[in-house]
Every structure is written in structure tokens, then in C-alpha cells.
Amino acid sequence: MKKGWQTKTIGDVCEVIAGQSPEGKFYNSEGKGLPFYQGKKDFGEKFIEAPTSWTTQTTKVAREGDILMSVRAPVGPVNFSTDEICIGRGLAAIRSGSELNRDFLFYQLLHLQPEISGTEGAVFASINKSEIEALPLAFSPLAEQQRIVGLLDEAFEGIATAKANAEKNLQNARALFESHLQSVFTQRGPGWVEKKLEDIADSDCSLSYGIVQPGEEFDEGMPIVRPTDLTTKVIHLGGLKRIDPKLAEGYKRTALQGGELLLCVRGSTGIVSIASPELVGANVTRGIVPIRFNRSLLLPEFGFHLISGGPVQNQIREKTYGTALMQINIRDLRVISLSIPPLKEQKAIAANLDELQEETQRLARLYEQKLAALESLKKSLLHQAFTGAL
């Protein structure tokens, strides 16, 4: 460690206040009492967001300038309090003593965050007051702390600007594709016709739900696609759960032939992927409806973009119901209206959208890589700062 630095625990140089939630009957949204915060959901980049809840029963209080730490799922994120507030059991307040610059403490807690591990409770991973107090701090004399804070402030401000620009560019790239997709299916040309989904499904496609109880993993069993698998445009064999083939005997109607659109009808309704040819003989769970189109009416490559487009997605949202579990039933799915151009036009539109989507994804990967690099730079700067190398 660099000369002049010393190591103590947080409990040696700080006061830690564990949060305690007031009784629910004292909460309000009218600004009566103290602002009340109970977890990371109200954290900003560095300072807590404006309050949305208040309490007239004061339990544990954090002052302006205290550092708030999330102590329950997730454990470790920190933010500054901007006012006197009441804190619930999802937070702890850390109040720096005279030996520590509070911004220096904040940055060191950011540095320590990956190493902070809580204990497994009945419901949440958590860290308690004594565990926070036992965390080690390395610190220098106050003048050196202030110098380091100045360097980190300047660097982090630049990183925040670069990050905001990259996130904006990422959003713009995705929005450009969505806007083009929307325009294709709302500005219809001559020859477009309206058809119900059930009228353009292939004769051997029943538009049915998949297997209700797929059971446990079965070695060398039959592959099955679940809603959680619909994360890419094309679903391949690798990584799919495998089940006992006997469990699919009553679900031959949803056996895959490869090339189907796989539409999520439970949870995140409307998400759609394509079954790759290697999925012949596989099946799907209750949350997915496989769709095979009558190719004399609709090309699968066009159908993917059609189902993904705004007009169809809006209908799916309107028909989705439920609270704990959102879903759309088969009866409503069958009568969803689709606007379809002639086959030749479908092929040209699909090719254009595929090209634009590929370019959008390429740009998105670049911006995501830049965001990851900026996060790595922050970690590197923090490591240098608290090993005396900055």
C-alpha cells in the first residue's frame, strides 16, 4: 500500500444505521411526514430520485449527505441521500466520520461493491449492519483523498457523458428499425388484404398451446422450447431443455416441423422467434403457440416481421389479460387481423427488413460493447484509486 495510507473497517470510521420500515398504515403519497425510501428502486446514478412515498411514523433516519446502501437483493449498490429521510429495511445509511471525505467513501464503496456478499436469508440475499461495519477501508490523508476525488469526479463525469451518448445511440438504432417496421404495416399499398390468423394458418396447423406439464430434465430426451428461450430471432437446438418423450404423446398438434413462428402467449405475450430446421420433432410448452402459414398466402419470412410489427402487437396487447400471469387465449389469437400484400411484395419487404434488422443489430452490438468498455474503465479507475496507483 502507498505510504501514508492505512486500513480500518467501516465501523472504525463511520456510523452505520440499519433501516427499519414503519407500519404500512403510516405511509402516504401526499408529502406528509418524512420522505420514505426502502430499496434500490429509487436510486439514481449517484443521488436518490425524488420521493414518491412519505411516512408520518419515523423509524430510522438518514441525513442529507449520508451514503445509502442497498442491503437486500441487490446487495451493495450505493447512492447519496439528498435530504433527511426515513429508511426502510432494504437500506442502510453510512455516515462518514472526520477521517473520511464522503465522496472518497462513496467511490470506495463502489469499488468494494463486487466483493460485498450478503448472507442467504429465507427470501432475499442480504447484508446486515455488523457485516457492513466489518468491511475494510483503505484510505489516505484527507488532502490526498480530495485529490483522488477530484480526479475520479472528472473521469466519471466524462464517462457518464460518453455512456449517455452511447445509450442514446443504442435507443436511436432500435427506434429506427421499429419506426420503419411500423410504417411498412400501416402505409399499405394496393393489393393488400385483411385476413384472420386462423384463415392463413396451414391446414395442419391447429394454433394450439403446447405441453402443460413438461416435467423434469430427461437425459437425451425430446427438446422443448419454453417462453424463456425466445431471446433470439432463430431458436436452435443447443441449450434447450429435454423432457421424457412420453409427456408429449398428447401434444402431437404442437410437434415442430422446423420453420414455424413460435409466439409467446403467456408472460411476455407477443414475443416471436423462428424454429430452426434442426428442431424437427421437438415441441413447445403451454406458453407458446407454433404457427405454420399457408405458403400460398403468406411467406414465413414475411410473417415473422408481420407478427412483430405494431398493428399485430397492439392487438395482442389489447387481448392480453391477467395480473400475476399475463396471457392471451387461443380464441382471441385466432381472430387477430393481419394485413397481407401479394407474395412477390412480401418477399421484397422481408428482404429489406432483414437487411435493416441486421444492420440495426450490428450497431446495437457496437454500442453495447462501448457501454461494457466504459463500465470496465470505471472499475479500472477505482482499482487504481484504492490501491494507491492513481
Host H or E run for residue 96: strand 91-96
Q: Which CATH architecture has domain 193-340?
A: Alpha-Beta Complex (3.90)
Q: Where in the chain is the domain with CATH 1.10.287?
A: 145-188+342-390
Helix residue ranges per DSSP H, 277-329: 300-308, 310-319
In the chain, the amino acid numbered 175 is A
Residue 135: its pLDDT value, please?
Answer: 92
CB of 80 closer than 8 Å to CB of 46:
yes
- The architecture (CATH level 2) of 145-188+342-390 comes to Orthogonal Bundle (1.10)
Q: What is the pLDDT of residue 122?
A: 47
Could you give the CA distance from residue 341 to residue 309 in angstroms, rounded to a whole number?
14
| Bridge pairing between strands 222-225 and 283-284 | parallel
Q: Which residues contact 61 (CB under 8 A, 6 or more apart)?
A: 17, 34, 84, 85, 86, 87, 93
Please tell me the distance from the alpha carbon of residue 179 to that of residue 97, in angstroms, as a whole number.
53
Q: Phi/psi of residue 37, each to 5°?
A: -125, 140
Q: How far apart are CA 140 and CA 155, in angstroms?
A: 20
Residues 39, 24: Cα–Cα separation, whole Å:
15
Q: If DSSP states are collapsed to H, E and C, what string results for 108-176? A: HHHHHHHHCCCEECCCCEECCHHHHHCCEEEECCHHHHHHHHHHHHHHHHHHHHHHHHHHHHHHHHHHH
Q: Which residues are paired to 338 by β-bridges?
A: 195
Tens of pLDDT, residues 220-271? 899 999 999 999 999 999 999 999 999 988 899 999 999 999 999 999 999 9
**Sheet with strand 222-225: strands edge to edge:** 241-243, 222-225, 283-284
Q: Give how far the C-alpha of residue 208 lies from the chain's centroid of Cα atoms, to the nearest Å.
A: 29
pLDDT of residue 177: 86
Q: Is the dihedral angle over the CA atoms 267, 273, 278, 282 positive or is it negative?
A: positive
What CA dihedral angle connects 252, 211, 304 and 234, to 10 degrees? -100
Tell me where in the chain the CATH 3.90.220.20 domain(s) lie: 6-139, 193-340
Quote the Cα angle for 277-278-281, to 5°.
95
pLDDT tens for the chain, 390 residues long, are 677 888 999 999 999 999 999 999 999 999 999 999 999 999 998 999 999 999 999 999 999 999 999 998 889 999 999 999 999 999 999 999 888 999 999 999 999 988 886 655 545 578 999 999 999 998 889 999 999 999 999 999 999 999 999 999 988 888 888 888 888 888 777 889 999 999 999 999 999 999 999 999 998 899 999 999 999 999 999 999 999 999 988 899 999 999 999 999 999 999 999 999 999 999 999 999 999 999 999 998 999 999 998 889 999 999 999 888 899 999 999 999 999 999 999 999 999 999 998 998 899 899 999 999 999 999 999 999 888 777
Q: Determine the CATH number of domain 6-139.
A: 3.90.220.20
**Cα distance between the two ends of the chain:** 12
- DSSP labels for 360-372? HHHHHHHHHHHHH
pTM over 0.75: no
| Residue 349, CA distances (Å) to 174, 181, 185, 211, 354 in order | 18, 10, 10, 34, 9
